[in-house]
Amino acid sequence: MKKSFGFGIVGCGAISKAHIESIKLIPEARLVGVVDKFVEKAKAVGEGEGCDYYSDYNDLLKRPDLDIVCVCTPSGLHAEPTIASAKAGKHVIVEKPLEITLEKIDSMIKACEENNVKLATIFPNRFKKATNYLWKKVQDGRFGKLIMGDAYIKWYRTPEYYSTASWRGTWTMDGGGALMNQSIHTIDLLQWMMGKVSSVVAYTDALLHDIETEDTAVAIVRFENGALGVIEGATSLYPGFPNRLEIHGSKGAAILENEKFTTWNFIDSDEQEENEIKRLSEAANKSTSFSDPMAFNFDPHRRQIEDMIAAIKEDRAPFIDGYEGRKAVEIIASIYRSSKEGRPVDL
Ligand SMILES: NC(=O)c1ccc[n+]([C@@H]2O[C@H](COP(=O)([O-])OP(=O)(O)OC[C@H]3O[C@@H](n4cnc5c(N)ncnc54)[C@H](O)[C@@H]3O)[C@@H](O)[C@H]2O)c1
């Protein structure tokens, strides 16, 4: 049995810190190299972390001591390093969104399957205790018949957020705006809880920022199980608000704001369950990522990296594999199509 796993990072920007700090906390993980197309960025991180650095990921991929690659490049540049890593026999953890088109995602899944390596998509919210608890309750049928599921992601980003990284808010590199970059986390949770989305009808627009993609979006969704719901996603709403996930069923309702339950109300109340909800809400991390892109806790990233190590050891799929990562992108792509074509779109 392998005792330690060599990690490499491709893309030394803002989110790479979450991966590096997580790797440092995992006893069986070690960082062997980092890559950035701007070698001075890679050098600063490599020297700081005491590992090798490169400007071309193909050089990193030659290393026999490299097992797992974390892809932290701009969203529209996830496929190339992922496919190259798969061909080099390395497992891959890819930041969200897995990629910005379903065609590219399918080619990544195929390359990983053909080369017998594992592919994981980062969706840290699924690794948070409150969301996990809610998911299990939905699976157990606690809500009865699911009637409505909503995701409200009324966030704010400054104009500098877009102007300091030229790929953000572009179709070719960000693949969209508020939905594809920010709201995707909660859209993934919504579909994870409520099940497959079967159709959407939507409006999207850039109402505040000078970007080519949307900063404001509203969609009505129908789920395959017949339930209805709403997705509201934005980076245009000052000062930014905690994201809210609402699950309504025939037996009761839950409202989760970030990691805190603000409503847990069922026809047949259960004291033990209510105590657990209170405990989870009190322990919740007070994230302000609705207004600050880097204000989040790295712990769920660590859990997700640990899940990849466990998946390799147990020879199973990672908890959020390529097929799971694909689902939220399919919903968002359908919302964009609905808004562009002015009609409902079936998935
Ligand atoms: N999970 C989360 O909560 C979270 C948060 C922020 C960003 N992200 C995702 O992480 C990804 C990166 O976002 P960011 O904010 O860190 O971006 P960033 O612009 O800060 O960093 C991207 C880095 O990739 C480098 N790069 C570009 N092309 C490259 C190439 N071919 N080879 C090597 N390096 C290359 C850039 O020079 C830059 O340093 C995006 O997909 C984003 O959606 C996820």
d(Cα 253, Cα 148) in Å, to the nearest integer? 9
HSE, CB side, 13 Å, CA atoms: give it for residue 301: 20
User: In CATH terms, are 5-117 and 125-293+329-346 the same topology?
Assistant: no
Q: Which strand ranges, in their side-by-side order, compose the sheet holding 52-54? A: 52-54, 29-35, 5-10, 68-71, 91-94, 119-121
CA-nearest residue, atom 29 of ligand 1: 37
d(Cα 96, Cα 91) in Å, to the nearest integer? 16
> Is pLDDT at 304 greater than 90 in this prediction?
yes
d(Cα 289, Cα 141) in Å, to the nearest integer? 31
Q: Domain boundaries in the chain?
A: 5-117, 125-293+329-346
- What's the confidence (pLDDT) of residue 289? 66
> Is pLDDT at 87 greater than 70 in this prediction?
yes
- What's the confidence (pLDDT) of residue 294? 65
Q: How confident is the model over 163-214, as pLDDT tens digits?
A: 998 999 999 999 999 999 999 999 999 999 999 999 999 999 999 999 999 9
Ligand 1 binding pocket mutation candidate from 9, 21, 36 (most atoms within 8 A of CB): 36
- What's the confidence (pLDDT) of residue 296? 66
Which ligand 1 atom is nearest residue 75's CA?
Answer: 41
Q: How far is CA 281 from CA 81, 152, 256, 258, 289, in A?
A: 39, 19, 9, 10, 17
312-315 CB contacts, 8 Å cutoff, 24+ apart: 312/2, 312/5, 312/67, 312/68, 312/91, 312/118, 313/1, 313/2
Q: Looking at 210-219, 231-240, 277-286, 321-330, which range is the least confident one?
A: 277-286
Q: How confident is the model over 6-35, as pLDDT tens digits?
A: 999 999 999 999 999 999 999 999 999 999
CA-nearest residue, atom 14 of ligand 1: 14
Structure tokens at 319: 């908890």
The residue behind tokens 């049928």 is: 141
Rounded mean pLDDT, 123-152:
97
CB 261 within 8 A of CB 181: no
> Is pLDDT at 283 greater than 90 in this prediction?
no
Rounded mean pLDDT, 255-280:
95
Q: How far is the CA of 75 from the centre of ligand 1 (A)?
A: 7
- 257: closest CA among 287, 223, 233, 297? 287
- What's the confidence (pLDDT) of residue 298? 87
pTM here?
Answer: 0.96
- What's the confidence (pLDDT) of residue 291? 67
- What's the confidence (pLDDT) of residue 287? 65
Give percent above pLDDT 90 in the chain. 93
Ligand 1 binding pocket mutation candidate from 22, 41, 72, 98 (most atoms within 8 A of CB): 72
d(Cα 19, Cα 296) in Å, to the nearest integer? 13
pLDDT range class, residue 297, cuts 50, 70, 90: confident
- Which fold is adopted by the domain 125-293+329-346? Dihydrodipicolinate Reductase; domain 2 (3.30.360)
pLDDT range class, residue 77, cuts 50, 70, 90: very high
d(Cα 328, Cα 325) in Å, to the nearest integer? 7
Average pLDDT, the chain: 96
- What's the confidence (pLDDT) of residue 245? 98
Structure tokens at 213: 């993609």
Q: How far is CA 187 from the centre of its chain?
A: 9
Ligand 1 binding pocket mutation candidate from 9, 12, 15, 235 (most atoms within 8 A of CB): 15
Which ligand 1 atom is nearest residue 80's CA?
Answer: 31
d(Cα 143, Cα 226) in Å, to the nearest integer? 15
Q: How far is the CA of 311 from the centre of ligand 1 (A)?
A: 25
- 62: closest CA among 98, 32, 42? 32
β-bridge mates for residue 93, sequence order: 70, 120
- What's the confidence (pLDDT) of residue 149? 98
Structure tokens at 119: 């592919």
| Cis preceding-peptide flag for 74 (omega within 30 of 0) | no
Residues with CB under 6 A from ligand 1: 10-15, 35-38, 41, 57, 72-75, 77, 95-96, 122, 124, 165, 181
Rounded mean pLDDT, 71-81:
97
pLDDT range class, residue 74, cuts 50, 70, 90: very high
CB 208 within 8 A of CB 157: no
**φ, ψ dihedrals at 219, nearest 5°:** -135, 145
At the top level of CATH, the class of 5-117 is alpha beta
| Residue burial 316-341, b: 16+ Cβ < 10 Å; e: rest | eebbbbbebbbbbbebbbbbbebbee
Rounded mean pLDDT, 121-126:
96
Q: How far is CA 10 from CA 32, 69, 92, 229, 345, in A?
A: 12, 7, 11, 37, 35
